[in-house]
Structure 1
Amino acid sequence: MPPKIPLRMKEMLIEEFTRGQYDLTTPREKRDVVRRVQGILRAEYRRDLTTKQVQMLWSDLKRRDQDLLRRVVAQIGFPLSTYTRLRGQVRRLTKTKRRHEREIRLLKQQMLEMRQHMANVEEEVNNNYTLITDFLLMGFNSSKELRILLSSLLVVAYCVTLFVNILIIVLVIHSQILQSPMYFFLTHLSTNDILLTTNIVPNMLPVLLKDGETIAFSGCITQFYFFGATETLECLLLTVMSYDLYLAICYPLRYPVLINQSFCQKLAMVSWIISYSVILIDTITLSKLEFCRSNIIDHFFCDLAPLLKLSCSDTYIIQLEASLLCIPLVVIPFIIIVTSYVCIILAILKIQSKAGRQKTFSTCSSHLTVVILFYGILIGIYGLPNGGQTLNINKFLSLSYTVLTPLVNPIIYSLRNQDIKKALEKMKPSLGF
């Protein structure tokens, strides 16, 4: 049994515990109470008590001296039941706080694990991410016999295209009767047709013979650049030629003054510079795209639309550029051509004699045929929605204006042109015919 505690000592203990307002439920506060009781008893009895003896004294105090406990509660300032209820709420709030802290720690741990997982996935994607350095042109999905036949026809068409266009250039340069603005622009059109077909046909033959051929990324971008530049130049040259015809038919007396040699050279030079400079914008933007989805181009040359399908970069900028550039390079020239021919037709209708109307119309019929052929195929490929034609039809239309148009342009201009026939007759002896 612990020693009896005098009343004065009990009051000292009560005063000490009341001042501290101890809960006496947690191990830490119990240890604080024991240390304080030990200090008080050491000062009173001049001796030390063990921890167990102090705990026994405190338990005896709480069990036998309820009146002192009531005095303690009275000094605290609120009923014992309220104190007990508040202490219970504090305990529950403490437990809730600890539970929330555990949940927060668990969420933080899950977030760290998720970040680590995302980093691992990103690293794995970067390791598997390979940029394409070459493309595989598939050409036409057809039988071997058909591809061989098509290759043979392309070789013949390419040779005829080179021969006819070079012949027209030579005739215009050496013949005095062909020294007019229309034939001057025709030489530029023939030069452009040679560049266009040379850019496409030699690269397309291996694609057809091997049922697919690899082309380097730089070679593909170069082919797209010259393709876009030559097509743009053809639009501008056809526009300039229609303007020339408009002045020749509507203002025949002022025509020699309005269209002189210097003015023709400036128009041709500006057309070449604009074509090869503006298309460079799209080409540079295209070369900065990253291609990682596939390297298979289901076409026989590097056109813009098939390349954009393979890009894993954002293609909004280059699509916007291409749409905006079409306005000054395709739409406005087409409007000028239509306007010119409307004025030409009105001027032809004012001619009284039927023979005069036929002769005047024959001077522009060749150019009108070329314009209808070129813009008709161009609208059929790029003007219709994607579902407007199948892929094979799109390929054959592309084949038409990359191979057929350069072939038929000089034939159309020379078929009913008496000046070219006369110049050819004069050059036959020098050509060995």
Structure 2
Amino acid sequence: MVVSDMVEAGERRIEWAARSMPVLEAIGAGFAQDRPLDGLRIAACLHVTAETAVLMGALRAGGAEIALAASNPLSTQDDVAAALASYGIEVHARAGVDKDAYYRHIHQALDIGPHIVLDDGCDLVNILHTERVELLGDVAGGCEETTTGIIRLRQMASEDALRFPMVAVNDTRTKRMFDNRYGTGQSTLDGIMRATNVLLAGRTVVVAGFGFCGRGVAERAKGLGARVIVTEIDPVKALDASLQGYDVRPMAAAAEVGDVFITVTGNRDVVRAEHLAVMKDGAILANAGHFDVEIDVRALEEMAREAHFGIRPNTDEYVLQDGRRLLLLAEGRLVNLTAAEGHPAAVMDMSFSAQALAVTWLAAESANLTPGVYDVPADIDAEVARLKLAATGIDIDALTDEQEDYLHSWRLGS
């Protein structure tokens, strides 16, 4: 496809996404008028998709200069990247590049000399702190979008290694509810079904991890008629899953009976060699955690006597020594963004709206913040929810004066 055709295709894709992102579009219109980001340079490492493009457009409308790298090569939409470049946004991303090119692109995005960083998994922030320390002095702060990234950032903060404030966009109520639960739930199963055309009704689906993402996956799988087993290390989350009617087992026990395995933990080696050794013939392995470390792909490769790559798009078949076949989706990477299109645009409208407003908050408040991980201010979270309700035509009640007084008085009882 020639560049002009790619740009046109990318523009169509972005325009389609924008139709379902009214909150971010409204924020972008306000940014264009107020220019709260004038003079700011932003380096971003995000999934290069149409929804991300709408966020980039809003930030650019606010006056920011932007350099964008991909947080996952398999999720990059090349036509979107071409369209963004035509808009004057510096883009360093191409679908399917190897690990060396992936990290080179992050370095190229950092060459902008950022004041603000946007990260999806903490790779960009990690490189800033380990390989590009000469840039740290100009960085006022940043935002992190994922559970995996927040885990890494909190560990950096606990070791006094984090050099600037980071906002945990992932931890807002709207993000966890709308994006993690409903977005991940739908898009993960969408990716699995596109890759395999499997019927989930009557199958046993094993969901590893019962955080907000795992809960969403389990709910959607159950709704499609699957029998759902949950594996967990957190006793409270395991109890929650049990009280919601799910079968809760260790992975060692679940591995023997599962038909489809979906990891959603933010940790590594969740599905290991001992689990692969007892799985059924034809078991499907999919990952919906950010990095490709939740399923031990190296162990799978070592156990296989032969492999058939691309037997279906985004589906590789590994034949073990005893003839059992295990199907790995999306190379163990994010199945919802590799085998499907990620979260629906209506979901990303919420997450990216919080991200955009958090950037303006950081720009205004960074001088008053010390290095560490910060929650998104509650008023931003509530404002995003209010805007979304208004965009969908939903009205809600407001407290009366008497109700306000009651909630703020300890003297009034029954």
Q: TM-score, normalised by structure 2?
A: 0.22
Structure having the higher Rg: 1
| Greater RCO, CA 8 A, separation 6+ | 1
